[in-house]
Structure 1
Amino acid sequence: MLEIEQNRRLLLGSLGALGTSTLLANPLAAAEANPVSSGAGYSFDTPMENVRTMARLTSTLEPGKTGYVRYQGRAFALLENGSNVAIYDIDGIGALRALPQPNGAIRFLFSEFALYLDLKTGLPLERWTNPITGREVEVWHQRNGPVNYEIAPDKAMFGQFVRADGVTNTGFQLPWTIRGPFATFALDVVSNRKNALDPATWPLESSGETIPTTEHSQYSMLLSDLNNPKLLSLPFFATLQSIKPWHPWMLMGKRLGRVFARMVAQKVSGPEVLPAPSLAYAKQHLSAWMEAPAEWTGQYVTAQAIYKATRTPQK
């Protein structure tokens, strides 16, 4: 049975990622200089507005509709001697539905997948030769979900992610900055949640008892779009960076080092924007994570839990 974590975060990206997951939201960021408190038609310091903005950004407030975010980038192995090596490209989709609640909170139904691509061909990897160990391994592409989480005007944080600077807020507040015609905010968050893969049972797949993670993102949108209440789904552009332990399928165990990923993300119409080979691969192998969950169950199913439920320890 899948291990389930409840009440964790997500914004895009998790965006991201997705390796994302990330891609999606964490409202606990270190604010940049020159924060704003008001704007033409938009109340930047109102928690209710900030909650609705997260829904407009990462999903849509149009009833019954799903918002899709695509994130693309490259991953690098950060080695113990300080060097790094490019290991694969990333192309992923997060699907998110927003369910406004009577108390002003919004519940989100989320699933995501990310494909790891060959650096030269751009095609989804089936096998991969680890440049550090020299071992050829089967690639296990990223997937998360079903993920259910909720954000509310009176809650400054949710789940196991916290602001990298340790500061806490009263109410849901994004650290806005106005840059000419653009409204932006940066999110810098850290977590150290329990690893579903016990290193005693999964010595090659598990990086340790916990999963230390740091994620950094910058979201930008047109101020005119933000000020338009009729625009229920906000276009945006984001940059995402993360540092995480080795993926289980890399069979690196507790070896020193990390995976660094840098990505960009934006709102898209759906998975059909992927290149034909990637879309075909996703439909064949990852169809369960291509659309948002159908209903609220309170679940947060992690990639590690899915891996544990569907794989066996390697030797």
Structure 2
Amino acid sequence: MAGIAGLAASSCAIAPAAGPHAKRYDLNLDDPQANLKAFIKLTGSLDNEPVYDLVQGSVYGLVAGQPARPLFKTVGAGCSHYSRRSRFEYRAESRYIGMFLDWNTEQPLDKWTNPYTGKVCDVPVTRYGPSEVSILGNKIVQAAATAAETQMPGAKRPWFKLGNVAHMQREVISSAPEMPLFPKADLMTYSSDWQQLANPKLKRIPSRLNFSAVEAWRDWMNMVAGEDPAGTLWWQVSGVKLDRASDYPSQLLQRLRREDPNFFQSRGDI
């Protein structure tokens, strides 16, 4: 079933390899300034316009001695606005709304029966932001970066190239007042066409996200330490950037409007 996530009107798929006569562009991701600019291009945009993304995936329970147990699915939407502050610093203003879905119907959960305990749990909507972060050469900080942090020309993010596709990894997320829920361990990898990433004329390009995380039981699961099984949540999520806000599946778009009227940057976005 498609569920609330449905099918996005625009998938922003990674472009096919360029033809033999297409212009080729050079890109040196070992250069710290080029590395940071490429990271912004992968995760957001360089055109000073809002960036909307859609993530979808599955969440499993991990308990020692047991196989991974499917618990629920998840869908989330993010809106970010990126701006350049210096050669080695960008700022991003972001907000995020996420929902847990029934494993089979893929509809949002209001109630959920915990298979480990039999308890019926109220399921909240996940909200992050609005928050502002500074994006530096090899880290993201939750407040304005210091002058010393913005002058780190040797700092850069890990990357690799497979065929015509560039892959770049984001560092582990840390806690902040605006984001009280954070994984014990996570890994985000952003991917896009190498030549689109290298093309200086393109300020916004399609990209995809693959995300895996291990996180403590959520409080709303009502797992009592010492009584209920000790374990963790295991997230497997994929994501895409959308061409425009109106590309969200219609059912999800309506839900986002209800959950946060300020989610969309302007009425013109939808």
Smaller-chain TM-score bracket: 0.7 to 0.9
Task: Give the SS at the match of 2:184.
Answer: strand
1:1-315 matches, cutoff 5 A: 40-63=25-48, 65-102=49-86, 104-153=88-137, 156-159=138-141, 171-187=154-170, 189=172, 193=175, 213-254=184-225, 255=228, 256-288=230-262, 290-291=263-264
Q: 1:187 to 1:98 in 2, by over 3 A?
A: closer
Q: 1:240 to 1:225 in 2, by over 3 A?
A: same
Query: Can you list the C-alpha shifts for 1:56-115, whole angstroms capped at 9, x where unaligned?
Result: 12221113x111121110111112433221111111111111111145421110111112
TM (normalized to structure 1)?
0.65
Please list every run of 5 or more consecutive structure 2 residues that lacks an aligned counterpart in the other structure: 1-23, 143-151
Task: Give the SS at the match of 2:204.
Answer: coil
Task: Give the SS at the match of 1:189.
Answer: coil
Q: 1:103 to 1:194 in 2, by over 3 A?
A: closer
CA distance in 2, matches of 1:211, 1:227: 32
CA distance in 1, matches of 2:265, 2:223: 32
Match of 1:307 in 2: none
Task: Give the SS at the match of 1:56.
Answer: helix
Q: 1:174 to 1:104 in 2, by over 3 A?
A: closer
Question: What's the CA shift for 1:141?
Answer: 1.6
Match of 1:311 in 2: none
Alpha-carbon contact 1:216-1:241 (below 8 Å) kept: yes
Question: What's the CA shift for 1:281?
Answer: 2.5
Task: Give the SS at the match of 1:53.
Answer: helix
CA distance in 2, matches of 1:125, 1:110: 25
Quote the RMSD (CA, aligned, Å). Answer: 2.9
TM (normalized to structure 2)?
0.75
Alpha-carbon contact 2:42-2:190 (below 8 Å) kept: no
CA distance in 2, matches of 1:175, 1:240: 15
Task: Give the SS at the match of 1:269.
Answer: coil
Task: Give the SS at the match of 2:202.
Answer: coil
Please list every run of 5 or more consecutive structure 1 residues that lacks an aligned counterpart in the other structure: 1-38, 161-168, 197-205, 294-315
Q: 1:122 to 1:270 in 2, by over 3 A?
A: farther
Task: Give the SS at the match of 2:26.
Answer: coil
CA distance in 1, matches of 2:171, 2:88: 25
Q: 1:218 to 1:151 in 2, by over 3 A?
A: closer
Query: Can you list the C-alpha shifts for 1:156-207, whole angstroms capped at 9, x where unaligned?
Result: 33449xxxxxxxx97331222221111123446375x4899xxxxxxxxx9x
Q: Percent identity?
A: 23
Aligned residues: 230
Task: Give the SS at the match of 2:172.
Answer: strand
Question: What's the CA shift for 1:233?
Answer: 1.2
Question: What's the CA shift for 1:135?
Answer: 1.1
Q: 1:246 to 1:287 in 2, by over 3 A?
A: farther
Alpha-carbon contact 1:71-1:263 (below 8 Å) kept: yes
Letter in 2 for 1:178: K
Query: Can you list the C-alpha shifts for 1:228-266, whole angstroms capped at 9, x where unaligned?
Result: 111111211221111101112212244511111101111
Letter in 1 for 2:107: L
Question: What's the CA shift for 1:126?
Answer: 1.3
Query: Can you list the C-alpha shifts for 1:267-303, whole angstroms capped at 9, x where unaligned?
Result: 1134543433333222222444x3469xxxxxxxxxx
